[in-house]
Amino acid sequence: MFCQICKKEQATVQQLEKHEDGEWAYCQMCEKCALAAEAGSSATHPVGKMLIEGAKKKAAASKSTPGDAFACPGCGLAYAIFSKQRRLGCGLCYDSFRSDVEQIFRRVQQHTNHRGKVPGRPQREVRPSAELDELRSKLQRAIEEERFEDAALFRDKMRRLTEGGGA
């Protein structure tokens, strides 16, 4: 299979990338293009430029995608860095960047729910989910509407619930 970026060399690397249309997917690349994408180095390199500009364009246009300036209230990780590095900064990032995370799951995992083992700590109880689900929805709406102080309040409430009831 040929590299999806340069279309000249054989693809030997599979990397999670956010495309111009804002969609996450695995991208098959040759080593040279993969290194360029990873370093992000190159705002001047065709790969880096395409990926970074595409992500910014989509984030600016989309109501459900946070802007680059948005940071997770849990750890301070900026959306722009998550989008470029494809790494989350804490457990709360899963909610802060929920729409992207779910999109990544649908594309590369083809599932969005865990069906495997539960951590073996006996004291841990399955937390009451209704209140947390409601708080999560409120957190998500607050993020979308850029009401970050409200988002921080909902985050703190979720943390207190989680610490109190185990997860």
Partner 1 sequence: MSQFPGDEWLRGEGPDEDIVLCTRVRLARNIEGHCFAIAQDDDEAEAVASTVATALHPIAERHGWRWHDLRDVTTLDRRCLVERHLISRELEEAERARGVLFDEHGRASIMVNEEDHLRIQVFRSGLRMQEAWEAADAIDDEIAACLEYAWSNEFGFLTSCPTNTGTGMRISVLMHLPALVIAKEIEKATSAIHEMDMTVRGLYGEGSQDFGDLFQISNQKTLGASEQEILKSLEGAVQSLIEWERRQRTRFQEAPIHVADRAWRAVGILERARKLSSEETMSLVSRIRLGQVLEIIDSPTLQQMSRIFLLTQPGHLQQRAGSPLGPSERDELRAQLVRQILHDS
Least spacing, CB of residue 101 vs partner 1, in Å: 6
Q: Is 91 in the site for partner 1 (CB under 8 A)?
A: yes
Asked whether 65 and 101 are in contact (CB, 8 A), the reply is no
Q: Is 69 in the site for partner 1 (CB under 8 A)?
A: no
CA–CA gap between residue 146 and residue 54 (Å, rounded): 22
The answer for residues whose C-beta is within 8 angstroms of residue 9's C-beta and 6 or more apart is 2, 3, 30, 31, 32, 33
Q: Is 164 in the site for partner 1 (CB under 8 A)?
A: no
Q: Is 112 in the site for partner 1 (CB under 8 A)?
A: yes
CA–CA gap between residue 39 and residue 76 (Å, rounded): 22
Q: Is 6 in the site for partner 1 (CB under 8 A)?
A: no
> How many alpha carbons fall within 13 Å on the CB side of residue 112?
10
From 40-48, 60-68, 106-114, 147-155, span contacting partner 1 (CB under 8 A): 106-114
Q: Is 37 in the site for partner 1 (CB under 8 A)?
A: no
Q: Is 88 in the site for partner 1 (CB under 8 A)?
A: yes
Helices (H), the chain: 31-39, 46-61, 79-85, 93-96, 98-104, 129-144, 148-165
For partner 1 (CB under 8 A), the number of binding residues is 43
What residues line the site for partner 1 (CB under 8 A)? 12-14, 16, 31, 34, 72, 75-77, 81, 85-91, 93-94, 101, 104-105, 108-121, 124, 126-127, 129, 162, 167
